[in-house]
Amino acid sequence: MAEPTQTIEIQVLRYRPEEETEPVWQSYQVPYTEDMSVLQGLQYIKDEIDGSVSFRWSCRMAICGSCGMMINRKPSLSCQTFLRDLAPGPVKVEALDHLPIERDLVVSVQPFVKKLESIKPYIIPKVKRELCEGEYLQTPAQLEKIEQFSSCINCMLCYAACPQFGLNPEFTGPGVLALLHRYNEDSRDGGREQRMEILNAEEGVWSCTAVGYCSEVCPKGVDPANAVNQNKINSALDYFIRFLPKKGA
């Protein structure tokens, strides 16, 4: 790796619950090379300047979804945001918006995980097949319907981008609703009825006002705004369909 020849100022919003009642900014001068990400800048701070700075990370390659944070006020994965693109700085780094700060750049994920569990994010087979009967098959067109939504890595950037979630944390939110759509639309899935209650609720799709920033910030090219808004139509149909006479009645 080349020796760093330049430095950049990284400002970190610190919150140490033993010391502070509200977050404060702290500034660090970080030497950097052309190939260094913001995450590597933070790792330099932790290793060389201030070991008390807390943040989450794991894969360093935009797959694990752990290192999301606000970088210059935009929800971003710090592993795929490069210091060279933010020069001359300063680079302002904060915990993801709209989520409670546990410590420094670490936010509470418990409510998100609970919501994710609630939508049953797995295929509930329409008809159970025995192993000897082989795979559940799907055509390319059926895959196309769900493929982009299945790219979600649960990084929660879309939650930091959603003011409606900020104003009402009960809102199921873009990421989880996009995954709900992914399973409901899967040709192999038969769990739609179990998920419609969450989708139809006030905190389901109807809390969305189509701001659309969730889809702008998604690092995996998922379009949660589209998933949520398509399902306003599905939710309305689900409501009115009950008034139709049942088949064979």
Partner 1 sequence: MKPQANAEGVRRNPPYVRPMAGWWTRNPFFVRYMVREVTAVAVWVYALVLTFGVLRLSQGEAAWNGWLEAMKSPASIVLHLVLLLGMVLHVHSWFEIMPKTMAPIIVGGERVSASRIQRTGWTVAVVVTLLVLALAVGSQS
Footprint of partner 1 (CB under 8 A): 15, 17-18, 20-23, 73-74, 97-98, 100-102, 107-108, 141, 144-145, 163, 166-167, 209-213, 215-216, 223, 225-226, 229-230, 232-233
- Evaluate whether 174 touches 127 at the Cβ level (below 8 Å): no
**Residue whose CB is less far from partner 1, 43 or 66:** 66
In the complex, least distance from residue 245 CB atom to partner 1, rounded to whole angstroms: 26
φ, ψ of residue 17 in degrees (nearest 5): -60, -20
In the complex, least distance from residue 218 CB atom to partner 1, rounded to whole angstroms: 12
In the complex, least distance from residue 98 CB atom to partner 1, rounded to whole angstroms: 8
**Residue whose CB is less far from partner 1, 20 or 34:** 20
Query: What is the 8-class DSSP label of residue 132?
Result: G
Residues 6 or more apart from 109 whose CB is under 8 A from it?
99, 156
CA distance 216 to 40: 24
Burial pattern 77-86, b for ≥16 Cβ within 10 A else e, equals bbbebbbeeb
**Residue whose CB is less far from partner 1, 23 or 90:** 23
In the complex, least distance from residue 229 CB atom to partner 1, rounded to whole angstroms: 4
**Residue whose CB is less far from partner 1, 14 or 195:** 14
**Residue whose CB is less far from partner 1, 44 or 223:** 223
211: three-class secondary structure by DSSP? coil
Residues 6 or more apart from 38 whose CB is under 8 A from it?
10, 69, 71, 76, 78, 79, 81, 82, 83, 86, 91, 93
In the complex, least distance from residue 40 CB atom to partner 1, rounded to whole angstroms: 26
